[in-house]
A and B are shown apart, each in its own frame.
Chain A
Amino acid sequence: MKTTPDYIHQLMTEKLAAVISAADEHYLDELIDNDPEVRKKWERLLHECMPEGPEEVLDRVSRWPENIALLIAGRRPDNHHRKDKLIRLYRITGAAAAIALLVLAGWILFKGPRHGQTSPDLVSRPGSLDHIQLELASGKAVNLSRQEGLIRTEGIELINKKDVLTYQSSTSANGLNTLTIPAGNMYSITLADSTQIWLNSVTTLRFPFKFSGNRREISINGEAYLKVAKKPDMPFIVHLPNSDVQVTGTEFNVNTYNADAEQIALIEGSVNLTAGNTTTALSSGKQAVYSEHTGWSINPFDGDQVTGWRQGLFYFYDATLKDITLLLTRWYGITVIIDHAGIRDRRLAGVLDKKQPLEVFLENIKAVARIHYYYTEKGQELHFADASLQTH
């Protein structure tokens, strides 16, 4: 490497941005220590260029679009892609962890009839919301994906750190706020009464900053794990789209992704469930499923299967490719397309691990279920195709 003045300048910017290799940093540190000319330039760069410190400058970058697709969409408004079509294949946080999934266990295959149609069988797209949003009772929206740390608004102090929201409210405002988690994200919140709620992707929570009266009431649509603070004199009620869960203090998981099968799984304590005019009690280790057609059914459940999502694990037994497709859109915020109807109902079992590379999971599906995959739109859309049809 040539040692030009400009190369030294490059190394200085690398050091400020903490991307310098340990080797180059050793070299630069020695220069700064021993060469007064270099030290002078280094100090000048620090003081004149970024008097507020590099953090100030870098903070601005954290507000840039999350990925190249959104960057292009933002800068070229005439681009023919609609924003909600532009999804991120990989959510990269911090050191840019790779994402993904892994099929471990076996599978059962029901081979459907062959079709060679050209239009896709099923297209699963993420919604247009691309950030975690808190809509206050007043209608004001706060972007929690963009604003980290302390946020002051309308007499509320929100603290948004590492995907956890806590707050302090000086006002007695008890209007309902709406917290929306889009596809590809997970988030958690601690309410005023110390109740903790973990929210899975594509989930909406409605809650007041302060609980008043003799009941604590919130609404959830999607999937959440709740650790409700014990307050025997102030019951806690979770409204789901079709049923209500009433507790005093306990841990449980709710899942309403399938509108006709609301699931409440109780880890600890006991809860009362109400839907329409029917009320039923649930004891720990049991899961209740409510369907408007068949009412309540109560069964034991597998703890890993129900709460694994909190560790980025999704266990599935006897799931169809369609179920997997919807899950991928929900968890990764990606568009997934099933090309051929014949493979939609192929059944799979295994576990998806968000910490493993996506390709590992896709290769496994390919190997065990003869389902081929490929990307279009520069890697932005994932397709599943019947491997035996060989269209790709």
Chain B
Amino acid sequence: MTAPDNDIDLLKQLQERRPGAFDYMYHKYRHWLFLAAVSFLHSEAEAEEVVQEFLIDFWQKEMYERIIAQQANSLKNFLYVSVRNRCLNRLAKDGTRNKRYRAFLISEDHTVMPNELENKELRVQLRIAISQLPPRQAEVFKQAYISMKTRKEIAREMNISEETVKKQIALALKTLRRLLRKIEHL
């Protein structure tokens, strides 16, 4: 197996039933899913049970077939929502803990600043704008927003520090905001 470059690749390998693809995903995300389950259930033993049962079902019931590889985030979102739902099903039987979980969420009437680069029409204009960035900024930006890689992964691949990745993203966003504002005004 060639290590998948991003989650779209990984999902493709899962759907092609490539040997090793599942174990790759298992090692990549099991600790995150466990941590997420702990945040809902407040019990490591229960979280372990929920996540392991989910992973076995994901494999045996070929749940990966249901995911449409639209974006690099699709796989992660599916995994998270599945684990969350299983946790909430457990909590539904336990009012006290359910209340505690709710306390962790930001209240429904609180409006958070939206992630402005998620807008679809913007993506087309974005592509044009990215091409105007300095090459290194453009590369960091693409790895972050299109391949959805972590700071650490980008730093390793481009042989730069994580701090530089962070700064380059901030710089790229600043430039893009300026460029996109111009496009909007045209």
Chain A: residues with CB nearer than 8 A to chain B? Answer: 1, 3, 5-6, 8-10, 13-14, 16-27, 30-31, 34-35, 37-38, 41, 44-45, 48-50, 54, 57-58, 60-62, 64, 67-68, 71-72, 75-76, 88-90, 92, 95-100, 357-359, 375, 378-380
13 contacts across the A-B interface (CB closer than 8 A): A1-B115, A8-B106, A10-B36, A18-B152, A22-B165, A24-B148, A50-B38, A58-B34, A71-B52, A89-B23, A90-B1, A92-B24, A96-B3
Interface locus among B14-22, B89-97, B128-136: B14-22
- Interface flag for B159 (CB, 8 Å): no
What band does the interface of chain B fall in when counting residues whose beta carbon is under 8 Å from A? 35 or more
Report chain A residues within 8 Å CB of B44.
57, 60
Report chain A residues within 8 Å CB of B59.
68, 72
Report chain A residues within 8 Å CB of B112.
3, 5, 8, 31, 35, 37-38
* Contact between chains at B35 and A58 (CB < 8 Å): yes
Bound Cα distance A9, B48 (Å): 19
- Interface flag for B113 (CB, 8 Å): yes
- Across the interface, name the chain A residue whose C-beta is closest to B24: A96
- Shortest distance between the CB of B130 and any CB in chain A (Å): 13
- Across the interface, name the chain A residue whose C-beta is closest to B18: A379
Q: Name which of B3, B84, B152 has the most chain A CB atoms within 10 A of its CB.
A: B3
Report chain B residues within 8 Å CB of A45.
39, 104
* Contact between chains at A75 and B17 (CB < 8 Å): no
- Dominant SS among interface residues on chain A: helix
Bound Cα distance A45, B173 (Å): 28
* Contact between chains at A90 and B19 (CB < 8 Å): yes
Report chain A residues within 8 Å CB of B20.
89-90, 92, 98-99, 379
* Contact between chains at A75 and B31 (CB < 8 Å): no
* Contact between chains at B166 and A26 (CB < 8 Å): yes
- Shortest distance between the CB of B152 and any CB in chain A (Å): 7
Bound Cα distance A130, B134 (Å): 50
Report chain A residues within 8 Å CB of B77.
10
User: Provided the pairs A17-B31, A26-B166, A50-B38 are in contact, do residues A37 and B110 lie with their beta carbons within 8 angstroms?
Assistant: yes
- The residue that B39 contacts in the complex, of A9, A21, A72, with Cβ under 8 A, is A9
